[in-house]
Structure 1
Amino acid sequence: MTKFWDNIKKFPRFLLSVIAGFFLTTFQTIFELLKEKNKRLTTSIIMITLIGFITIVLRHMLGIK
């Protein structure tokens, strides 16, 4: 039973490292794209459009006007 509780104690550290790894790998790719001048405009437009779309969807889902 102590092995079970040892595993439970390790879970928050594991979860934090997985979340940090996800964001680091995602943002590293985006920053690499922003370094190239010809891809900077396209990447920026896609990110702004995606953020705007998510905002509109969340406002409609939550009933915020």
Structure 2
Amino acid sequence: MSNFWINLYKFPRFLISVLIGFFLTTFQPIFKLLKNKKERIVFMTIIVIITVLCYRIIQIMTDNI
């Protein structure tokens, strides 16, 4: 039974390491993309367009024009 509690105490550290690994592998291509100035401008433009589009859609859905 003590093995169970030892494993249970290790779980939060495991969860944190899995989440950090997920974010590092997810955002690594984006960080590589941001090194080039031309690609950085295109990427930031796309992010701004998506953000404005989502904002407008939510505004229209909630009838707050």
Q: TM-score when scaled to structure 2? A: 0.64
5+ long unaligned stretches in structure 2? none
The percentage of counterpart residues that share the same residue type is: 46
- What is the RMSD computed on CA atoms of the aligned residues? 2.7
Asked which structure has the greater CA Rg, the reply is 2
Q: TM-score when scaled to structure 1? A: 0.64
Aligned counterpart, 2:27 = 27
5+ long unaligned stretches in structure 1? none
Q: 1:33 to 1:3 in 2, by over 3 A?
A: same
Larger relative CO (CA 8 A, sep 6+): 1 or 2?
1
**Residue 6 in structure 1 maps to residue 6 in structure 2:** yes
Report the count of equivalent residues: 62
Amino acid aligned to 2:4: F
Which has more helix, going by share of residues? 1
